[in-house]
Amino acid sequence: MANDRLLPAWSSQFTPEAIRQLTAMGPLAEITPEWAWGQSRGAGVRVAVVDSGIEHDHPALEDSVCGGVAAVYDERYKGKARFEADDPPHDLSGHGTACAGIIHFISPEAELYSVRVLGRDMRGKALQFAAGLRWAIEQDMGVVNLSLSTSREEYFALFHQITDQAYFHNVVIVSAVNNIPAPSYPSLYSSVISVAAHEGHDPFTYYYNPSPPVEFGAPGIDVRVAWKDRQYLAMTGNSFAAPHISAIVALIRSKHPELTPFQIKTVLLACAANTHRS
Amino acid sequence: MDRSNSEEDPRLAGQLRRLLLSMEASGRAILPNSNQDLLQSIVEAAARIFSAAAASIALVNEKQQTLEFKVAYGEGNEAVVGMQIPLDKGIAGYVAMTGQPIAASNVQRDGRFDQEFAQTTGYVPRSILAAPLLSGDRVIAVMEVLDKIDAPSFGMQDMELLALFARQAALAIKQSQQIGQIGATLVQGLQQLAESGSAEEAAQLLPLLEKAEGEGEDREDIYRLAASFNRIASLGDAERKACLQILSAFADYAQSRKGF
């Protein structure tokens, strides 16, 4: 995408006056939240949080964190990244813990895995990110939460290939859109579920936007989150909207393991708060 | 930097106008001569635009893996300047690592985010909005505005605006570093445009510019130049656009003049 003009803020499509009311027709109208995730607690679904790490012993996470790795930039390795064990995982900034906390709150029995791809090393950030994402796909994670992205055009094809690989590999990738009104990847690909923030706070109230690229809006403004050093903060950003959808996907996958990524996106559309049944 | 994507955006034009107005109101030159002054002007303007009690800029030091606070405005500003924090720590560290802006609130009550650091400055914020200053895709600095005066937290719109503002700030810093005496170069560049007669508004600047050049770096003329920009911008959309085009053309001119 040409980066020659400013795009509107992605979250502006989810302000109360901008949300469009949709109608589910035919069999789609039979899909309800109760059918999709009622009574589900996410059991048996593995969720990877590709981020700054996860503080495994944060009280908000209880015992949900099951393992983790860290991708480190290293030119000697394939993909210019190698993996270090990070088990039990820790978090550098708190951002990954925030995402994990949201997922655990909504999907308490999902198993969380930390894939740390952020660090002090400013070189090769996108390649660490790509390696971490690949790792999650190769591990057959049910859901991958990406509350980060790259805006570097030269990695457009690389991330496109990886997310297509995930799509065909039955791995659902949930990707927060850029907080800056500019393109970023992989959030703009159709093979992922892209998420921006809306102002609401009910964790199960999300909206579908029929004018993509950003498809879903979930709570992301003044969200109370877990943070590094066993603390809590109120945070704002699309980063915190994506884990809401990741968690709901985990609930759906737990209850309906037969559903593929595109079917899950359809279920999400049918259960969106702005979708009405005819 | 991709300058072309910002100068003509109407929202940004409004912001630029407010920036110019606020700088003029504070009696500051629109483009100070030294890098430190420029950074100081930027944080003060950021604090005003976002109705924040305090603001700061920390530069990324990749070699030492730190963020060093270079300038600050508002409460605790004297203590914060010169402080260093690890590049991966806290909200500023997250912004440095990812290039993404982020907002946090209830910092004092709910968390101890950078609390240790904040306490050494004697100032613990209730809300933080932080955005990267980018050179290409490289984060060169992190700008923070603290404590929105009229609201408990910063919203998504604040975040978007700070990101846009940070883009302009990064461009200004880069140009300042590259050009050095940017105030004098601005006058020269605009004078050539005015002489070319390419825009009526530009021609109006000529007498002022001649005086500005005659008095070298006299700040009074820079103030008057800022006033001129503001007058043009207040005449309407077309005039404001022309004004922005002049700025854009100047940037192109300055680049070609310097051969990069």
* Confidence check: pLDDT of A250 > 60: yes
Q: Is B98 on the interface with A (CB under 8 A)?
A: yes
Phi-psi region of A80 (alpha: psi -120 to 50; beta: other; left: phi over 0): left
How close does chain B come to A39, measured CA to CA in Å?
31
Q: Is B163 on the interface with A (CB under 8 A)?
A: yes
- Three-state SS string over chain A comes to CCCCCCCCCHHHHHCCCCCCCEEECHHHHHCCHHHHHCCCCCCCCEEEEEECECCCCCHHHCCCEEEEEEEEECCCCHHHEEEEECCCCCECCCHHHHHHHHHHHHCCCCEEEEEECCCCCCCCHHHHHHHHHHHHHHCCCCEEEECCCECCHHHHHHHHHHHHHHHHCCCEEEEECCCCCCCCECCCCCCCEEEEEECCCCCCCCEECCCCCCCEEEECCCEEEEECCCEEEEEECHHHCHHHHHHHHHHHHHHCCCCCHHHHHHHHHHCCCCEEEC
Cα dihedral B116→B73→B103→A16 (10° resolution): 150
Beta pairing partners, A224: A234
Q: Could you state, in order of their start, the residue ranges of all structural domains in chain B?
A: 1-33+181-260, 35-179
* Total number of domains in chain A: 1
Rounded average pLDDT over A135-148: 97
* Average pLDDT score, chain A: 92
Instruction: Among A138-147, A237-246, B95-104, B188-197, name the one with the lowest average pLDDT.
Output: B188-197
Assess if residue A28 is contained within a domain. no
Q: How confident is the model at residue A138 (pLDDT cuts 50, 70, 90)?
A: very high
From CA B60, how far away is CA A270, in angstroms rounded? 46
Interchain contact, B111 vs A233, CB within 8 Å:
yes
Assess if residue A3 is contained within a domain. no
CATH of the domain at A172: 3.40.50.200
Q: Name the DSSP class of B127.
A: E
pLDDT, position A11: 78
Rounded average pLDDT over A224-234: 90
Q: Tokens for B245?
A: 């085009």
How close does chain A come to B94, measured CA to CA in Å?
6
CA geometry: angle at A65 spanning A60 and A67, to 5°? Answer: 155
- Chain B neighbors of A152, CB-CB under 8 A: 137
Q: Is B138 on the interface with A (CB under 8 A)?
A: yes
Interchain contact, A237 vs B100, CB within 8 Å:
yes
Assess if residue A83 is contained within a domain. yes
From CA A195, how far away is CA A241, in angstroms rounded? 6
Q: How confident is the model at residue A5 (pLDDT cuts 50, 70, 90)?
A: very low
By C-alpha distance, the chain A residue nearest B106 is A234
Interchain contact, A152 vs B137, CB within 8 Å:
yes
Structural domain containing residue A226: 41-277
How close does chain A come to B101, measured CA to CA in Å?
6
From CA B159, how far away is CA B101, in angstroms rounded? 7
Q: Is B67 on the interface with A (CB under 8 A)?
A: no
Interchain contact, A6 vs B159, CB within 8 Å:
no
Assess if residue A17 is contained within a domain. no
Interchain contact, B98 vs A227, CB within 8 Å:
no
Q: Is B89 on the interface with A (CB under 8 A)?
A: yes
Q: Is B50 on the interface with A (CB under 8 A)?
A: no
Per-residue pLDDT tens, chain B, 260 aa: give them: 343 443 445 555 565 556 555 554 454 444 444 677 888 888 998 898 888 999 999 999 888 889 999 899 998 788 889 899 888 877 888 899 888 899 988 765 544 445 555 555 556 688 899 999 988 778 889 999 999 888 888 888 788 888 888 888 888 777 766 655 445 555 555 555 555 555 555 555 556 555 555 544 555 566 566 667 667 767 777 877 777 777 777 777 777 766 54
Assess if residue A11 is contained within a domain. no
Assess if residue A21 is contained within a domain. no
Tokens 């503002």 sit on residue: B165
CATH code 3.10.580.10 for B35-179: no
Of B60, B104, B137, the CB nearest to A234: B104
- Chain A neighbors of B105, CB-CB under 8 A: 222, 233-236
Interchain contact, A222 vs B153, CB within 8 Å:
yes
Q: Is A5 on the interface with B (CB under 8 A)?
A: yes
Rounded average pLDDT over A101-130: 91
Q: How far is the first Cα of chain A from the last one, in angstroms, to the nearest whole number?
A: 37
Strand A143-146, strand A111-116: pairing: unpaired
By C-alpha distance, the chain B residue nearest A149 is B98
Of the two residues A264 and B251, the one the predictor is more confident about is: A264
